[in-house]
Each structure stands twice: as structure tokens, then as C-alpha cells.
Amino acid sequence: MTRKQSTPALTPLAMLVLALLEERPMHPYEMYQMLLSRHEDEFVKIKPGSLYHAVARLADQELLAAESTDRAGNRPERTTYRIRTAGREALRARIRDLLREPAREYPVFVTGLAEAHNLPLDEVIDALRERVASIDARLAELDTLHDLAAASDVPRRYWARVDYIRAQNTAEVEWLRGFIAEIESGGIEWETFDESGERTDITNHTLR
């Protein structure tokens, strides 16, 4: 009995590569330029080396195939790739999984928030205010992307994620402002520290 080959796990960058090749064959440098022009680097970390590695890995997995190699002038050879049937199936399977299955993610901010009681209250407030300012700046960037897409008549299905990420950031910054106001008003007990950093007033907390 032949064992069915499992579908390779696809990273976000690998998904972008396969999605581009669904449009037409391309070489990696063209992929990189197109991803930047579409502002994909706002949502996925994209570096030339990482992209070339992703392409090579997808080729090893037989999800894409080299179609041709050419050289223009003194430039290095460029290999054009096309998506294979297995690549198309893997891409669609991964998209379905991501849409229907909430992933248990582990954002590092949650750990910082859980251990914030190890800092003096004024430092926590200052740090959270800086975070709020950073998120506000991010929201302004997302508004710019939204307006750009709308002005360019880009179909809504291509930039729905901009609104989704904006909604996430808006919810976070609203919660943070409320939390800052609560601890500033004394609504949450906080430990105090002396000049050496030692706790001087330790209170018991139900949630640690």
C-alpha cells in the first residue's frame, strides 16, 4: 500500500511565491520587485536571501519547476519558475487551513504584559504610552494603504487584510488606553520599589 504524501507546510513567504507564480512564470528577482511594489513587505518579512531560499525549497519539494534560464548582459543568470499542480494544490490547502482554523499564537507582548508587575508603575505607564504611539503611527500607515488601494480601484478581495489588521490594532490601542487609565487611577494595586530595585510593598495577587 502506497503511503499518501503529506502536504508540505508553507510559510507566509512561500505562499506569496506560489501565489505570484499562479499569475504567471517569474524569476525570483522579479518576484521580489513585485512583492515590494504591492507593499507585501508591510505584512510579511521579505528579504532577497529569504525569498531565494523559499524558491529553492519549493523547487526541492517539487511544488514549482524551473522553466528557463537566461542572462541579460553582464547580469547573473536568472531562472524563471512556474507553479506545478502540486504547488497549486498545496497553496489552496494552506489557504483553507489558515481561514478555518484559528492558530494558537504566542505574541511576545503578552509575556511582557504578564510580567509588567516586575517594573515600577511609572515605567510601565511610560512603556505602554510608547506602544500606543507606535500603534497610532501604524494605524496611519494602514489608512494610507487603504486609501491607495481604494484610489487605484484595487478589488476589495485583495486588500481586506488591511482593514482586518487595522481593526486588530484599533482594538489593542483602545484596550491599552483603558488599561493605562485604570492603573493611573489606582484601580489596580501595584508593587513599589526602592532605589535599588527591591520591592518595598508586596501585595498578593490572585492572577500571576
Which residues lie closer than 8 Å to 138 by C-beta, 6 or more apart? 169
Question: What is the average pLDDT value for the chain, to the nearest integer?
Answer: 89
Q: What is the DSSP string of 92-115?
A: HHHHHHHHHS------HHHHHHHT
pLDDT (0 to 100) of residue 194: 79
- Chain segment 74-126, per-residue pLDDT in tens: 667 789 999 999 999 999 999 999 999 888 889 999 999 999 999 999 999 99
- Chain segment 173-197, per-residue pLDDT in tens: 999 999 999 999 989 988 888 777 7
Is the pLDDT confidence value at 18 over 90?
A: yes
H-helix segments, the chain = 12-23, 28-37, 48-60, 85-100, 108-114, 121-151, 160-184
pLDDT (0 to 100) of residue 207: 40
pTM of the model as a whole: 0.81
pLDDT (0 to 100) of residue 74: 65
pLDDT (0 to 100) of residue 141: 94
Which of 134, 114, 137 has the alpha carbon at shortest distance from 124? 114
Most confident of the following: 3-7, 57-61, 73-77: 57-61
**The pairing of beta strand 192-193 with beta strand 78-83:** unpaired
Helix (H) or strand (E) holding 66: strand 64-70
